[in-house]
Amino acid sequence: MPGVSSHEARVMLPVFANTQDIAAFAAQVTSRFAPAPADNLLTPGYVIAGHGLYAWGVDARQAWIHLEAIDALLTIELALRR
């Protein structure tokens, strides 16, 4: 993942409640991401509960890499909790 140079890197993955109120959702996302976290956590995406994972990057390839990396980490976390 771009920006990750160590196994000790911390990645923030916010989880937002699913809602049909797009204005309220946009306000939640805006307040969560602005201003940027002071401790320089990487935030390559977020989850909408009951809906799915969204990821981004400087281009489609990087966004896909972020999506795959987050999916792999979540799969491992789920396996550890079982």
Residue 32 lies in a domain: yes
Burial code (b: 16+ CB inside 10 Å, e: under 16) for 31-40 equals eeeeeeeeee
CA distances from 27 to 19, 71, 75, 80, 81 (A): 12, 26, 29, 34, 32
In eight-state DSSP terms, residue 70 is H
Average pLDDT over residues 26-33: 89
Domain, as residue range, for 65: 15-81
Query: Which residues on adjacent β-strands are paired with residue 54?
Result: 46
Give the total number of structural domains in the chain: 1
Residue 31 lies in a domain: yes
Residue 8 lies in a domain: no
Output 23 or 31, whichever has higher pLDDT: 23
Residue 68 lies in a domain: yes
What is the band of 6 on the pLDDT scale with cuts at 50, 70, 90?
Answer: confident
Residue 2 lies in a domain: no
Answer yes or no: is pLDDT of 73 > 80. yes
Query: Measured between alpha carbons, how far is 23 from 70 in angstroms, rounded to an integer?
Result: 27
